[in-house]
Structure 1
Amino acid sequence: MSNPPASSETPNGLPAVPIFDDHTALAANYNSIECRFGWDFLLGGNRHFGYYDTDTYWPLPFSRAQRRMEERLLGTLSLPPNSRLLDAGCGDGYVAMFMARHGGMRVTAFDVIERHVDNARKNVADANLNSLIAVTRLDFAHLDTLPPASHDGVYTSEALLHAADPGAVVAGFLRILRPGGRLVMHEFHHDFADQAMVPGYTREINNTVPPKDPATGAPRQEAFYRVETYFTKILEQAGYTDIVVQNYSDRMQPMLRFMSIFGVTRHIVRFFRLERWFPNAAATTEGYVGQEHWAYASISATRPVEGA
């Protein structure tokens, strides 16, 4: 599934052909019957948690809370209408459509899963938003085809968790941002001392490409999501400023609780040893049961303006 490195360049010196790592396992998960039913049918294709102002045991409809989470994302970006955004890991394109409709943003939306790209293009066309949203297939580990300083904002919505090297990804985002541009990520982090301690199906879903040391090729010992200080560290190392981490765990709790219960779930899945066929349900249950070890965060940062 991997493409060879680009052998030619465009007139502006950028690679002419995108590069993709091997995401066979990731594609298999998102193309599974469980994922199609869970995300596409139950959540209408919206692959992110919702934001609840108060706790509730009846979180339906999910879509209302998901729009509130998107409002938070747009508000944290804090950019004027007509800004150019990069949606990194766009899924079926619904967050990009929200940014265009409610923020007046121009969005470059990409995903590595071909089915997601096809769905996003169809959804954008059906919504008559082709003038504001361009959908393409890219790997956020290889964004060299995008011009430097070409976007005012970059965001992820529960997508960076699939990155083998999040530090390299956010450094790539910095290159694409204009000076003063904003990065906002809605992502999970955990406090396990070692990646191997993360519950099995949560680890399998979150990180389908094991992080490796770029020098040796061996698996890295540092867990790829180690508390909020991990995000601060990789963003500082990349050169960002104005880094803010906000804990949204309580705000998405009603949806997580409901999904864990809905998964009928852990007892049936475990009794019949069906975790392999229902990894997302198993991971959701693991997340709810072991939530003292993780948090859902909004992480924001700014590309500094030289000389400011």
Structure 2
Amino acid sequence: MELYRKTLTSATWWSLVIFNLLTFSSCKNQPESTVPSWKIKLIANSTSHVTYLVDLERAIDHILRVQLVQVPVFKGKELIVLQNIMALLDNFNPLYKYKKGKANIKNINRFIKSQTEVSQEYFKGLANDDEFATENYIGDDYIGCLGSQSGLRGFNCSLWNLFHYWTVQSSFSPELFQPGAVLWTLHGYVHHFMNCSECYLNFWFYVQEHQIEDVKTHDEEILWLWRAHNYFNRKLAGDVTEDPWFPKKQFPEDKYCRKCRWKGKWQNDKVLKYLKNIYSSISEVVGLINKEEEP
């Protein structure tokens, strides 16, 4: 498949991409948590990293039915980015096992890729269709991305998971998209479809030193996104947006992958193997069990 067309943006705009991914949640004081403490403890104390289907579902649902439906009209660069998103979702669709999830996404992609302009009203009709909303998802809340308070983690966490998932899936089917396609899609998505208002200069230098154009293989693409994620985790550690139950640490932690670091240095081959494993083995669990209440 042809390489995704890149939207013509400056390097500083890519800086905005990363900033938004990590500051999507409001920096204001968060309301009291309504999440049972046992759920938070169960996830926070887990000794294995799990990618949950319900978290990927929440990211997809938010992208399609919250953010994209706000766009007045898709044309030009916005249409290209939309086509890129739908092509990725069509080819690497975690909803494929459930009811009409695969068919619904494929139908949207088939229509979108043949258009020169898509109206807000028409896209809303596709994404907000009652059948689409009820037939595609197995769960209705986060698990691995569940936050201890409302407004923490959630979509921000699930969005990272979705794009990590896409980089890994792309490496398993290298004939579909050229290396860097997922990263350029991420770039275009956040540039055009997420509001960004501050602090992009903090990230400009990172982008200058880690150009997407330098990504030549799918494995490099996986590691590029992983390094970017870790870089900004380190930048935002201790920030007001950080969930106190889930402090931002360098990933993966030793408890998840003991071989990923040796004498304080990352072992890229081990990290790559680990990332491919966790983003290809998707858990279909839809809820957590309170062990303390079991007889």
TM-score with structure 2 length normalisation?
0.31
Please state which structure has a larger fraction of its residues in strand.
1
Return the structure number with greater helix share: 2
TM-score by length of 1: 0.30
